Structure 1
Amino acid sequence: MSYHLAVWEGPRPADHKAAHTTFDTLHSEHMGGLRTPPTILIQHYIGALVARRPDLDPDAEDDEDDVPWSDGPLINNASGPLFYFGMVYSKYEQAARFAVERALALELVCFDPQERRLVA
């Protein structure tokens, strides 16, 4: 089981419903089919996450105990202005707290797709 967050570059939606619509649109445009390189700001954001908590190495079996990310490398979960990533449910609280703080500090939109709501 995992917990997911969506983070994107762009104007902050007016409310939770608008954020859900924006997420759906961005997800269908950027995560299906052909992906584009992540924006510089999204790359910077992902860099901050892996500087705090190491990226998951799919070839290393012992990584899984120390890493909160549900897959890796994290950059593979980004396309254009959207980064949609998962965290291991048992470890998501601290990782998600930092992820949200960094997103807000960089003026990125942070959305919880499980609860269909803007975060902070």
Structure 2
Amino acid sequence: MSYDLAVWEGERPADDKTAGQVFSDLYDRYLDGEDLNSPSELIAAYVTALLERWCDTTEDEEGTSPWSVGPLISGASGPLIYFGMGWSRAEEASAYAAHLADKMGLICFDVQQDRLRP
């Protein structure tokens, strides 16, 4: 089991309920199917920045990566990335991921709690 976040480009939704609807629509459009789009430049840059902090799980020889699947970019399509972290590292990694998203002008959504991350 993993702790999942969704990060996307766009206007910040007014509230958590609206964010959940936006996430669901984006997921259906960009990730729910076999034909994925290339990630947008901003989402690709976001993933690159995450991987500068912690290596991809596919390259993790020391067991230090928080990502639950790899390559991390495989969860990205168009303006959206959906990715998971192992529970043991989720607090630290999700806080960093949310902060980085905010810094890059992206929206971060906590999928488990159906709420926007500050």
Are 2:82 and 1:84 equivalent residues in the alignment? Answer: yes
- Rounded to whole Å, the distance in 1 between the matches of 2:4 and 2:73 is 15
Are 2:58 and 1:57 equivalent residues in the alignment? Answer: yes
Moved over 4 A (4+): none
Residue 32 (structure 1) shift: 1.3
Partner SS state of residue 91, structure 1: helix
Are 2:22 and 1:22 equivalent residues in the alignment? Answer: yes
TM-score when normalising by structure 1: 0.93
TM-score when normalising by structure 2: 0.95
Give 2:13's aligned residue: 13
Give 2:47's aligned residue: 46
Give 1:36's aligned residue: 37
- Rounded to whole Å, the distance in 1 between the matches of 2:88 and 2:8 is 25
Note the aligned Cα RMSD (angstroms).
1.2
Identity of aligned residues (%): 46
Superposed, which structure 2 residues align to 1:68-107 within 5 Å? 68-107=66-105
How many positions carry a matched residue from both structures?
117
Structure 1 gaps, min length 5 = none
Partner SS state of residue 57, structure 1: helix
Partner SS state of residue 66, structure 1: coil
- Rounded to whole Å, the distance in 2 between the matches of 1:98 and 1:109 is 13
Give 2:106's aligned residue: 108
Partner SS state of residue 58, structure 2: coil
Residue 94 (structure 1) shift: 1.1
Structure 2 gaps, min length 5 = none
Residue 93 (structure 1) shift: 1.1
**CA deviation string 1:30-64 (max 9, x = no partner):** 00111100000000000000000000117x6x45x
- Rounded to whole Å, the distance in 1 between the matches of 2:17 and 2:48 is 29
